[in-house]
Amino acid sequence: MGSTGEGTARPALGVRHPPPTAHTETGSPAETGDVEPQSCLWVPCITDLADASAAGKVPAGRFGQGIAILGGPDAVAIVGGPADPSGAYGGYSSGEAVELTLPGLVRSSVWPTDTPWDYSTEAMSLREDPAGGYLLAVGAMSAHGALGRTGAVYLLRDELPSGESLQAGAYATISGDGAGFSAGGQIALGAEVHWLTVSGIGASELVVAAPGTTPLPGDTVPDGAAIYAFDSSMTGSLDVFDADRKITAPKAGFGFHIAGWDGDSDGIKNLVATQGSANGSHDRVLAFSSPWVNDLTVDDATAAWTLESSNVVDRIVDLGDVTGDGVPDLFTGAATWSGDGFARAGAAWVVPGGNLTGGSMLDAAIHLYGDEDGEGVGYDATGGDFDGDGNVDLIVGCYGLSPAALPGKIVLFLGPVPDGALDESVSDSVVHGEYPFDQFGMNLESLDVESDGVAELLVGAPGADRDMGRVYLLGSDALLQ
């Protein structure tokens, strides 16, 4: 918990406050702009990592940069703090994963990582364990292997004792070694991890991205990328050659962001993945028709949406049916998008379900463009029924980045969301972070914590407290009153 700064108490959850009008370096609230008080909520922090580190470990930092959730009567959230990038808390720190039981956000376990700077806990995914409890997949795209920072994925069960490291407690580890890379090469295995049902076999498979990086000077590493699928019966030490199927690309950048999206309503998720701008080409979002049962290449994509820019796609999300037509819709966000004279204002697009033909992302039926420098629109989004009317609502994260000094915010649009341009003037709620550089809204996850048919929202602000990070829990009263 704690306070907002020099003796300033945090406001109570769900209580509305007018937008603060000034800030200082010593910690008074951030200026939130010309937003009407009735549409702005200054929210309190629910939990932070400052006192959550395992014995003998410095605080990891960037708490809230990774969030994985699992609903149901025993709802749980795993919140990651990948690392302290500044070294202000004792040098290069290792990451940590913190288990929070819901709805009270009770801190129940803390699991550190063994190695610094491996980006573990930034990418995580949860699923139910058929034997009881849950299974957690943790990606560590810069983990050291025998051939360099090839990446790794750790699989854990919920009985892992608090304080035990992710690496030592894993019941299975997938290494990026052996993927054809020479010493010093990087494939970034674990940049994305998702439990998805994409093959139609009925059980969730672990889908892991290895988007690759440009080889080091003089290296002979192939500049490729791949997405791998593993069945759920993995144990022991594995590598990418143990995958049940894969999709490969000849250039790095494929798979930095992936999602499962049933855009054709056949009951099986289509794998959707980003393809970065190799050799100056434009970013693309690719969809592969389900069921995915064989090895594929990027040329086998059944739909492709192109962005007339490069290196901008930050997130793709299966929103659920925010348009109200009975088919799930797909979100694409580009937080560093610059246009109309604004630097890194960001942009977001919603592709309606049923559109598996592709085209220009700029022609998407629903779009949202930032209108101030550094607004960072579209770094994340989520769908959920936040007002309990039976419709899926849309929340977009605008986390704030240079050249501005913004705290970040989230913008709510109640469903069904109509076609056309979205902006704050037609939104139903705007919630701002507390201080400049908090990056409030960088991660968003929705789930029905209270099992009452109304969704709650977890918001990550990994830049808060000088990169220590915070997580916020917002209910419908906080979002909509």
Using CA atoms, how far apart are residues 364 and 305, in angstroms rounded to an integer? 9
Q: For position 181, what pLDDT does the model report?
A: 47
- The three-class DSSP label of residue 119 is coil
The token pair that represents 180 in the structure block: 């054809």
Distance of CA 135 to the CA centre of its chain: 18
The token pair that represents 467 in the structure block: 């990169």
Q: Can you spell out the DSSP letters for 135-160?
A: EEEEEETT--BTTBS-BEEEEEETTP
- Of 346, 394, 401, 400, the C-alpha closest to 369 is 346
Using CA atoms, how far apart are residues 481 and 40, in angstroms rounded to an integer? 10
Considering the entire predicted model, what is its pTM?
A: 0.85
Using CA atoms, how far apart are residues 469 and 98, in angstroms rounded to an integer? 13
Q: For position 84, what pLDDT does the model report?
A: 53
Q: For position 5, what pLDDT does the model report?
A: 28
Taking CA atoms, 40 is separated from 24, 43, 102, 455, 458, in Å, by: 20, 9, 26, 19, 17
Q: For position 355, what pLDDT does the model report?
A: 72
- 401 in Cβ contact with 368 (< 8 Å): no
Q: For position 186, what pLDDT does the model report?
A: 67
Q: Order of strands across the sheet with 420-422?
A: 315-320, 329-334, 347-351, 366-369, 420-422
The token pair that represents 211 in the structure block: 């988007």
Partners of residue 288 on adjacent β-strands:
271
- The three-class DSSP label of residue 426 is helix
Q: For position 93, what pLDDT does the model report?
A: 54
Tally Cβ neighbours within 10 Å of residue 101: 14
Q: For position 141, what pLDDT does the model report?
A: 86
Partners of residue 366 on adjacent β-strands:
350, 420
Q: For position 478, what pLDDT does the model report?
A: 82
Distance of CA 110 to the CA centre of its chain: 20
Residuewise pLDDT in 10s, the chain (481 residues): 222 222 233 233 332 233 333 222 223 233 333 322 222 233 333 333 333 333 233 345 788 888 999 887 778 889 888 765 544 444 445 678 888 877 767 778 888 887 766 777 889 999 998 888 899 999 988 887 666 678 899 999 988 898 898 889 999 999 887 554 444 456 789 999 999 988 877 678 999 999 886 444 444 445 678 999 998 789 999 988 899 999 998 888 899 999 999 999 888 899 999 998 754 557 899 999 989 999 999 999 999 999 877 657 889 999 999 999 999 999 999 999 988 889 999 999 999 998 788 999 999 989 999 999 999 999 999 999 999 999 999 999 999 988 888 999 999 999 999 999 999 999 999 999 888 999 999 999 998 888 889 999 999 998 888 887 888 888 888 888 6
DSSP state of 417: P
At 460, which amino acid appears? G
DSSP state of 408: B
- Of 46, 55, 234, the C-alpha closest to 157 is 234
Q: For position 473, what pLDDT does the model report?
A: 86
Using CA atoms, how far apart are residues 45 and 474, in angstroms rounded to an integer? 10
Q: For position 139, what pLDDT does the model report?
A: 92
Q: State the greatest distance between any 2 C-alpha atoms of the chain, in Å, as a whole number.
A: 60
What pairing do the DSSP bridges indicate for beta strands 106-116 and 303-306? unpaired
Taking CA atoms, 328 is separated from 4, 229, 260, 396, in Å, by: 39, 23, 11, 16
Angle at alpha carbon of residue 257, lines to 427 and 421, rounded to 5°: 25
Using CA atoms, how far apart are residues 263 and 155, in angstroms rounded to an integer? 29
Summary count for the chain: helices (H), strands (E): 3, 33
- 32 in Cβ contact with 409 (< 8 Å): yes
